[in-house]
A = this chain, B = another copy of it.
Amino acid sequence: MIDNKVSQETSQPIAYNPHVSIDCVVFGFDGEKLKILLIERTIREGDGNYSDKKLPGSIIYQDEDLDTAATRVLNELTGLKNIFLHQFHSFGDPKRTSNPRDKNWLEKTTNTKIGRIVTVGYLALIKISRKIIFESENTTARWYDVKSLSNMKLAFDHNQIAEEALKHIRHQVMLQPYMLFELLPRKFTMTQLRNLYDLILETKSDVRNFQKKMLQIDGLEQLDEVQKNVPYRAPRLYRFNKRKAKISKLKPGF
């Protein structure tokens, strides 16, 4: 009987109640590379220090709803405010906290016994020009090339969470490219747009076809301006005019 099973389960020690945390996957684009925002974690081991990287994340407070927790955590760790954080997936593998290094670090920093943690993944695409507090008393945040993730062992299952976030974006961009504009400066060149598109979808678009395809997007406007301070022939600038796009389609998808 399911309820009996559950009640047997609930007579288990505290570990039975998982903790719930938030992890934020924040992407930025510098015009050439897709970047991800990571926090440096330093662990004292023996006489030395071990340090690695993790996603900005933390355990939720007792009275916080998930979206509130995500906004708070990202702000506390990076200073970022007014970011549209989109919940994309929750991760609950009981083994995701099984690495002793992660477990010890958590129990030290939270001063509590940690069983398993179910984490809710949030995603944000931000202009890389956004002001970020990279160094604070407690944390160091940095932008890293997404390509370098494959050579990094992030804390917990954060490699997997970042990979899922990328898959989510890839799929959304495949269906509607609107979200690319979240990552670009307000005015951008067609080359920047193509670089970003190809980075995310891991494609190599033909210059002419790509431009033709993009110019069909409602809201993508060609400006009478060209990029300034460039050594070569200055390319034309474009901007995305949300009001002219089918906004109704923007939010739910991303």
Residue numbers of A with Cβ under 8 A of B are 1-3, 5-7, 9-12, 14-20, 58-66, 69, 73, 76-77, 87, 89-94, 109-112, 115-116, 118, 120, 137-139, 167-168, 170-171, 174-176, 249, 252-253
**Complex A-B: 29 CB contacts under 8 Å:** A2-B138, A3-B109, A3-B110, A6-B59, A6-B61, A6-B110, A7-B109, A9-B61, A10-B59, A11-B112, A14-B14, A17-B18, A18-B20, A18-B60, A20-B92, A20-B118, A62-B94, A62-B116, A64-B94, A65-B93, A69-B92, A90-B90, A92-B120, A118-B118, A118-B120, A168-B252, A171-B252, A174-B249, A175-B176
Partner of A87, one of B63, B90, B175: B90
The residue on B at minimum CB distance from A14 is B17
Alpha-carbon gap, A165 to B92, bound state (A): 20
**B252–A60 CB distance below 8 A:** no
Alpha-carbon gap, A73 to B2, bound state (A): 8
Alpha-carbon gap, A110 to B4, bound state (A): 7
**B112–A94 CB distance below 8 A:** no
The residue on B at minimum CB distance from A12 is B62
- Chain B residue numbers with a CB within 8 Å of A249 are 171, 174-175
Interface centre among A17, A66, A89, A93 (most CB of B within 10 A): A17
Alpha-carbon gap, A92 to B118, bound state (A): 12
Alpha-carbon gap, A60 to B2, bound state (A): 11
- Chain B residue numbers with a CB within 8 Å of A1 are 137-138
Alpha-carbon gap, A64 to B92, bound state (A): 8
Alpha-carbon gap, A58 to B109, bound state (A): 31
